[in-house]
Amino acid sequence: GRVEPGLVDLLARDEGLDFGEDHREAVRALQEYWARHEPSAVHLRELHDALEEKFHRKGGVKYLYMLFPGGPVAQGCRLAGLKAPAGAVDKGFGSVA
């Protein structure tokens, strides 16, 4: 299930993100990746590599961490309405730091 765009904006605001077009592009990339793979076949390393390749020109995964300080996979998947693959735990989520 995808999250409606307006709801994504609200979720992002709740997480302290100034959600812009770059964030939307990353969320769409995650949703497209999921659409091409069985959920049980989504592995963290492969997804990480796919994101690195797709956003290489902008700085790859380092760029995505600037957009999603909670982790481009963990936080990005949460905002995209997707279940993050095993190992993509956002240890900082919910902390005040």
Q: Is 76 within 8 Å of 68 (Cβ atoms)?
A: yes
E strand or H helix at 5, and its extent?
Answer: helix 5-14
CB-based contacts of 23: which residues, under 8 Å, 6+ apart?
12, 17, 67, 68, 79
* pTM of the full structure: 0.81
User: What's the pLDDT score for residue 2?
Assistant: 61
Q: Which long-range contacts (CB under 8 A, 24 or more apart) does 35-42 make?
A: 39/83, 42/85
Predicted local confidence at residue 5, as pLDDT: 63
**What pLDDT digit, counting tens, does each position of 10-66 carry?**
888 898 998 899 999 999 999 999 999 887 888 888 999 999 999 999 999 999 999
Here the tokens at position 61 are 């995964």
